[in-house]
Amino acid sequence: MKLITDGDMIVLYLNRMYISSLDFTDKEATEKYMKRLLMKISNKYDIKIDGYYVVNLYVDMNYGVVIEIKKEELEYLDYFVNQIEINTKVTEGSFLYEVYNFDSSLFKKFIIYKIKDKLYLRVKDNISDLEMGKVLESAEIVYGTKANEIIRKAKVVR
């Protein structure tokens, strides 16, 4: 698990081991899981988490999930004191990996896109956790609308 705080947003990166038993089509189960996860984050990192949150989950079966958590400011602040309420939105798709230095022996398992001087990889075959680790050592994950835009605009190299 990797956690990044960016102003009023928290971004979590969870690999597929964390979410293997979670069914993202079941909204109620997903929201319960997210509430438990937020409580764990609150306790472990000493971050005050209460109120109403919009949670966007970007799911990729090869990597796992990237979760963007943003607190919504409501007029009735006292209503959510020491409570967590969330609204989740699940987006399934493929992640891209912007690579800087990469082991070319793994290229056969990826579709390679190029924009300007940047290379992006998209998994085309199932890869092992070890192979995913090698990719993540020298790459940055790109997901959501940014990934879709790159796929639409980029030149397929291989």
Per the structure, the complete domain to which residue 124 belongs is given by 96-156
Residues 6+ apart with CB under 8 A from 1: 12, 13, 14, 15, 18
3-state secondary structure of 38: helix
Query: Do residues 124 and 146 share a domain?
Result: yes
9/78 same-domain check = yes
Can you tell me the mean pLDDT for 116-123?
A: 92
pLDDT tens digit string along 72-82?
877 665 555 67
Which of 92, 110, 142 marks a domain boundary?
A: 92
- Please check whether residues 52 and 127 belong to one and the same domain: no
pLDDT for the residue 46: 83
pTM of the model: 0.88
